[in-house]
Amino acid sequence: MAFQANGIEIELTRGDITQQDDIDAIVNAANAELRIGGGVAGAIHRAAGPELEAETAPLAPIKPGEAVMTSAPNLPNRHIIHCLGPVYGVDEPADTLLANCYRGALDLAEEAGLESVAFPAISTGAFGFPMERAAEVASRAVLAKTGELESVRRVRWVLFSDEDRMLHEGVFESIFNA
Ligand code: ADP
């Protein structure tokens, strides 16, 4: 499914964030230490190999809501943007910190002159953020940025299951078609 907002193409797909070969930067749902872990960070670091940890180590630790960018060794993308989402029920204010991840990632993509960015559903796995609320926060944060994007023309969400994709479609329909 796809939406348009201020000339920006918003796409929703089911898939694996490491398999987005038509996207300039993929976003990692990182941990503070920017190391391999479970979920998205595990998949990205396994695909990228030790070269990635050599690049992330000097940038760590990062704080909830922050984003940093590296190259994308052994992946089909130009860059990886590592975002630390809030741990639900611990890092507050949760909505603001989650929105900061999306805003910060888009700022880094703009600064690098990138055309396309793909996000996973940050914080909705090990960090326990309720999926529907996370989808609302994420879509509102990106919608609010669309008016100021110049180089970024495409933003994709890569959801790991059909259930997650359908839930996002429902939320995005209400936000982007409001
Ligand atoms: P966090 O620690 O920020 O919660 P996780 O990586 O645990 O991050 O999970 C974030 C979301 O990404 C979850 O909804 C999870 O199902 C999903 N996910 C896990 N692996 C992948 C992958 N390879 N590609 C896309 N999404 C994934």
40: phi > 0 → left, psi -120 to 50 → alpha, else beta; which? alpha
pLDDT confidence of residue 169: 97
Please identify, by atom number, the ligand 1 atom nearest to the C-alpha of residue 127: 4
Cα of 88 vs centre of ligand 1, distance in Å, is 14
Q: Residues 23-33: pLDDT tens digits?
A: 999 999 999 99
98 belongs to a structural domain:
yes
How much is the average pLDDT of 97-110? Answer: 98
- Helix ranges (H only) for 49-114 are 50-56, 94-111
Q: Whose CA is nearest to atom 13 of ligand 1?
A: 125
The residue whose CA has the least distance to atom 9 of ligand 1 is 125
The alpha carbon of 30 and the centre of ligand 1 are apart by a number of angstroms equal to 10
Looking up residue 57, the CATH number of its domain turns out to be: 3.40.220.10
In a domain? residue 56:
yes
Q: How many domains does the chain have?
A: 1
Answer yes or no: is 14 within a domain. Answer: no
Instruction: State pLDDT tens for residues 45-93.
Output: 999 999 999 999 999 999 999 999 999 999 999 999 999 999 999 999 9
Contact between residue 131 and residue 167 where contact means Cβ atoms under 8 Å apart: yes
Neighbours of 80 (CB within 10 A): 25
- Establish whether residue 26 lines the binding site of ligand 1, counting it when its CB lies within 6 angstroms of any ligand atom: no
ipTM above 0.85, yes or no: yes
Global pTM? 0.98
| Ligand 1 center–CA 70 separation, angstroms | 19
Residue nearest atom 10 in ligand 1 by C-alpha distance = 125
- Give the three-class secondary structure for 50: helix
Distance, in Å, from the CA atom of 11 to the CA atom of 82, rounded to the nearest integer, reads 20
Average model confidence (pLDDT) across the chain: 97
| DSSP 8-state code for residue 25 | E
- Is residue 15 in some structural domain? no
The answer on pLDDT for 178 being more than 80 is no
* Residue of 116, 92, 89, 90 lying closest to 105 (CA atoms): 116
Region 115-121: mean pLDDT is 98
2 in a structural domain: no
Helix, strand, or coil here: 76? coil
Instruction: State in Å: Cα 91 to ligand 1 middle.
Output: 18
Q: Do 6 and 146 form a contact (C-beta atoms < 8 A)?
A: yes
- With contact defined as beta carbons under 8 Å apart, do 40 and 28 qualify? yes
pLDDT tens column, 139-171: 999 999 999 999 999 999 999 999 999 999 999
Q: Is 124 in the pocket of ligand 1 (CB under 6 A)?
A: yes
Residue 112 gets the label, from left (phi > 0), alpha (psi -120 to 50) or beta, of alpha
Question: How far does the centroid of ligand 1 lie from the alpha carbon of residue 92, in Å?
Answer: 20
Tokens standing for residue 118: 């793909």
Report if residue 11 sits inside a domain.
Answer: no
Domain that holds residue 69: 21-176
